[in-house]
């Protein structure tokens, strides 16, 4: 895993490319602390900070073809590189390294953009063709690895994180009001937007082709669900279970490929327990597992983690994340996320990866993707319950199903049916809406817009973010089942933009740790999409096929326990003794007016409620986290007087500079 950066100028007039690229790499050196390299010619500069995992001895980047025509930088892994290498050898190619980067380069040379359909991995890469003077950029199917870019006249600057781009002269960060509106609705932005104006993100499953005359962005993969029964899996549940096991076994097998030890995260839930079980099946030697626990019993899953570790015989290390830890590291996580966050949940994951790296582990396998592809989230059940309730909207009892769905939310317990109807009854009978499953969540989250300043509200007065969601819906979406629509929205918006970013790549790579996700193997995704909804959500029994597959392979308590979403304390953490003064200063009248993004009276009312001991709702918590993280982000990237870690030095950076590239 690595961090990459680059510059391309159509007119062949780069200014101080070595200095710029060194600064770009320095600010993300944590993504690749082992070594670094830069390639420069008159038109293009490519840079790489390497976290060496495969072919530690000879896999340095940037890497060139043997004739010097092509140069590549890669962030990520191509898990099927061994199979691709054997295929390429049959076509007459020879290799000078054992790296997946070189295999990727020659796969591109042989197949062109068609190489993307052959790759099984998590990647962002850039390839420069000296002969055609063309640049090719691509991002993996579901967006596990990030790539950002910005145009400054005839120059495009790109990198693994936004902060690299801001090292380019003249490019300054400016918060985009419409993007901020999206974050306070969907928890993320809709690609290609970012939170900053003029800075864009290459969408997942897309590539960019740049020449002197034009730039082209095209998809090479899109998430699809069946539009009718003919496209669904035709076999029995047993057949589907057998096939899912076959695919997951191979997905785990190729993700164990590394020249360094590979460990696993073990949350105590079904998904990470399943991946850990598969690792033991594929590689039965002693496996090292890591987990995070909380001092608050409401969020802690430590007993389940210990039970699964003992059952599978792993060498387990557990860490506890305190409220003080969350408050202390919150600004650092915002810095790495480069976007406001409405939850504190990324912070414990940051702490976990920090401890994992201190244990000399670079690679961990985790269970992300199972909830999205096999229907594990409560929001999927919520849509089903609401549709069921809509058939008898006056029912006294159907709304009570939400009490069982959300037993951990105190405001929904007791006999207050009116509150349940008020909260969950929004657009109850609009079942034909493409956003039926998510419109309630989006509406509740968007209540945080009430905290916006008058100027910000004025800037958004005619803006409707739902139009942008409509624009990215795939053909035939209206014919998807209710569950498939829910899964598509969750995977494309939430998973890519939040789960794999703020809670995934950013907090892991901040500590030089690479996460690998067997459930996000594209073969598993495509197969799961074809499964009948009942195989995934059986009544209200989530991930039914996965539970069936893991029978007698995991403790029964794990298979039968209610779904517990991963959460972390918010208000209690952000207002803990160690961070309280800092938070209150940012949310003071002076602090709020300084950024101009929020209305102080509304923020003051929220803080009075939180500090008075009154029941704090999930929306209150999200508002606090969102407002605070936005304030922090402003000081980090706009006024530049907030938490900004020092850039790391580039020791022994390998530089190749070709004024007039020559190739045979």
Decide: residue 487, CB within 10 A, 0-12 exposed, 13-18 middle, 19+ buried. Answer: buried
- Per-residue pLDDT of 28-50, as tens digits, reads 999 999 999 999 999 999 999 99
Residue 16 vs residues 13, 23, 43, 45, 223: alpha-carbon distances, Å? 10, 11, 12, 10, 41
- Comparison of pLDDT for 571 and 545, the residue scoring more: 545
Which tens digit of pLDDT belongs to each residue from 495-550?
A: 999 999 999 999 999 999 999 999 999 999 999 999 999 999 999 999 999 999 99
CB contact at 8 A, 261 and 363: yes
> From its phi and psi, is residue 15 left (phi > 0), alpha (psi between -120 and 50) or beta?
beta
pLDDT given at position 300: 78
Q: Strand pairing of 215-219 and 121-129?
A: unpaired
Average predicted confidence (pLDDT) for the chain: 92
Element holding 107 (H helix, E strand):
helix 100-111
Per-position b or e across 354-391, b if 16+ CB within 10 A of its CB: bbbbeeebbbbbbbbbbbbbbbbbbbbbbbbbbeebbe
In SS3 terms, 51-105 reads as CCCCCCCCCCCCEECCCCCEEEEEEEEECCHHHHHHHHHHCCCCCCCCCHHHHHH
Is beta strand 70-78 parallel, antiparallel or unpaired with respect to 134-139?
unpaired
pLDDT, tens digit (0-9, with 9 covering 90-100), for 205-252: 999 999 999 999 999 999 999 998 778 999 999 999 999 999 999 999
What confidence score (pLDDT) does residue 57 get?
86
Residue 282 pLDDT greater than 60, yes or no:
yes
Which residue carries 């953490």 as its tokens?
573
Cα(148)–Cα(160) distance, integer angstroms: 6
Nearest in space to 658 (alpha carbons), one of 65, 48, 18, 40:
40
Among 368, 379, 406, CA closest to 487: 379
Please state whether beta strands 35-40 and 44-50 pair in parallel, antiparallel, or not at all (unpaired). Answer: antiparallel
Tell me the C-alpha distance between 346 and 333, whole Å: 7
**Residue 640 CB partners (closer than 8 Å, separation 6+):** none
Residue 403, pLDDT score: 74
* Alpha-carbon dihedral sign for residues 164, 169, 174, 176: negative
Is 73's pLDDT higher than 70? yes
- How far apart CA 586 and CA 582 sit, in angstroms, is 6
Calpha distance 274→262 (Å, rounded): 16
Q: Give the three-state DSSP class for 478.
A: helix
Nearest to 375 by CA among 187, 565, 535, 560: 535
CA torsion, ordered 161, 167, 170, 171, to nearest 10 deg: 10
Q: What pLDDT, on the 0 to 100 scale, is given for residue 350? A: 97
Q: What percent of the chain lies above the pLDDT cut of 70?
A: 97
Q: Tell me, rounded to whole angstroms, the distance of Cα 508 from its chain centroid.
A: 11
Report the pLDDT value the prediction gives residue 288, as an integer from 0 to 100: 95
**pLDDT score of 397:** 74
Q: How far is CA 367 from CA 11, 50, 294, 505, 637, in A?
A: 46, 25, 20, 14, 32
pLDDT tens for 619-654 read 999 999 999 999 999 999 999 998 888 777 787 899
H or E segment to which residue 346 belongs: helix 346-358
Q: For residue 596, which of 452, 460, 483 has the smallest C-alpha distance?
A: 452
Q: Could you tell me the two tokens for 84?
A: 């691709």
Beta-ladder partners of 140: none
Structure token digits, residue 399 = 């709304």
d(CA 331, CA 440): 30
CB 112 within 8 A of CB 68: no
For the chain, domains (ranges, CATH) are 2-221 (3.60.20.10), 229-367+489-560 (3.40.50.620), 571-638 (no CATH)
Q: Between residues 299 and 148, which one has the greater pLDDT?
A: 148
In whole angstroms, how far apart are CA 32 and each of 102, 136, 465, 513?
18, 22, 36, 9
> 314-360: per-residue pLDDT in tens?
999 999 999 999 999 999 999 999 999 999 999 999 999 999 999 99
The position carrying tokens 């195989």 is 535
> Please, which residues bridge with residue 123 across strands?
76
**CB-side neighbour CA atoms (13 Å) of 98:** 10
SS3 170: coil
Residue pointed to by tokens 């406001």? 340
Close Cβ partners of 399 (under 8 Å, ≥ 6 residues apart): 389, 417, 420, 421, 424, 425
Q: What backbone torsions phi and psi does residue 351 show, to the nearest 5 degrees?
A: -60, -40
- The predicted structure's pLDDT at residue 650: 82
pLDDT in tens, 370-409: 999 999 999 999 999 888 888 888 887 787 777 777 765 5
DSSP state of 343: -
Residue pair 505/346 in contact by the 8 Å Cβ criterion: no
Q: Both tokens of residue 48?
A: 């790489």
The alpha carbon of residue 370 and the mean position of all alpha carbons in its chain are separated, in whole angstroms, by 14
């Amino acid at each position: 895993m690595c961090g990459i950066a680059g510059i391309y100028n159509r007119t062949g007039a780069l200014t101080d490319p070595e200095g710029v690229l060194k600064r770009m790499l320095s600010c993300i050196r944590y993504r690749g602390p082992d070594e670094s390299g830069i390639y420069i010619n008159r038109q293009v500069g490519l840079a790489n900070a390497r976290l060496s995992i495969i072919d530690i001895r000879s896999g340095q980047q940037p890497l060139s073809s043997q004739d010097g025509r092509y140069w590549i930088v890669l962030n990520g892994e191509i898990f099927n590189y061994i199979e691709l290498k054997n295929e390429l050898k049959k076509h007459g190619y020879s290799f000078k390294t054992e790296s997946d980067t070189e295999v990727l380069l020659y796969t591109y040379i042989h197949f062109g953009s068609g190489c993307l359909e052959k790759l099984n991995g998590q990647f962002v890469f850039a390839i420069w063709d000296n002969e055609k003077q063309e640049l090719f950029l691509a991002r993996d199917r579901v967006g596990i690895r990030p790539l950002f870019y910005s145009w400054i006249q005839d120059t495009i600057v790109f990198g693994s994180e936004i902060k690299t781009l801001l090292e380019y002269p003249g490019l300054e960060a400016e918060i985009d009001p419409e993007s901020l509106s999206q974050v306070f609705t969907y928890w993320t932005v809709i690609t290609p937007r970012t939170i900053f104006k003029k800075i864009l993100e290459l969408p997942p499953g897309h590539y960019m082709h740049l020449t002197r005359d034009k730039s082209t962005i095209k998809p090479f993969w899109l998430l699809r669900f069946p539009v009718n029964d003919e496209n669904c899996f035709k076999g029995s549940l047993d057949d589907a279970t057998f096939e899912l096991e076959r695919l997951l076994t191979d997905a785990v097998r190729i993700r164990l490929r590394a020249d360094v030890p590979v460990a696993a995260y073990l949350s105590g839930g079904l998904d990470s327990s399943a991946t850990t079980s598969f690792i033991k099946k594929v590689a039965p030697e002693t496996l090292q597992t890591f987990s995070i626990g909380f001092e608050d019993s409401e969020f802690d899953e430590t007993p389940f983690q210990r039970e699964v570790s003992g059952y599978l015989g792993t060498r387990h290390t557990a860490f506890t994340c305190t409220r003080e830890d969350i408050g202390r590291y919150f600004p650092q996580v915002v810095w790495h996320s480069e976007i406001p966050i409405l939850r504190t949940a990324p912070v414990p994951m940051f702490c976990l990866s920090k401890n994992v790296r201190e244990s000399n582990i670079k690679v961990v396998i985790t269970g992300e993707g199972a909830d999205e592809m096999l229907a594990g989230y409560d929001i999927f059940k919520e849509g089903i319950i609401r549709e069921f309730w809509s058939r008898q909207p006056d029912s006294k009892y159907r709304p009570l199903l939400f009490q069982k769905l959300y037993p951990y939310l105190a405001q929904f317990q007791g006999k207050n049916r009116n509150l349940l109807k008020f909260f969950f009854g929004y657009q109850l009978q609009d079942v034909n809406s493409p956003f039926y499953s998510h419109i309630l969540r989006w509406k509740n989250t968007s209540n945080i817009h009430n905290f916006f300043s008058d100027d910000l509200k004025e800037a958004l007065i005619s803006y409707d973010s739902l139009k942008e969601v409509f624009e990215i819906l795939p053909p035939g979406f209206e014919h998807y089942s209710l569950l498939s629509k829910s899964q598509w929205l969750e995977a494309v918006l939430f998973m890519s933009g939040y789960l794999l970013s703020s809670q995934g790549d950013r907090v892991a790579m901040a500590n030089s740790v690479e996460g690998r996700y067997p459930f996000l193997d594209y073969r598993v995704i495509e197969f799961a999409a074809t499964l009948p909804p009942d195989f995934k959500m059986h009544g209200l029994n989530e991930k039914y096929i996965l539970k069936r597959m893991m029978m007698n392979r995991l403790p029964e308590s794990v298979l039968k326990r209610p779904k517990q979403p991963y959460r972390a304390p918010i208000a209690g953490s952000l207002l803990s003794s160690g961070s309280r003064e800092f938070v209150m200063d940012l949310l003071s009248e002076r602090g709020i007016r300084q950024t101009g993004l929020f209305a102080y009276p509304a923020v003051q009312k929220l803080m009075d409620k939180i500090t008075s001991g009154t029941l704090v709702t999930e929306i209150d918590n999200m508002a606090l986290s969102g407002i605070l993280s936005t304030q922090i982000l402003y000081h980090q990237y706009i006024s530049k007087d907030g938490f900004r870690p020092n850039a790391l030095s580039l020791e022994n950076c390998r530089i190749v500079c070709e004024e007039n590239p020559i190739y045979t």
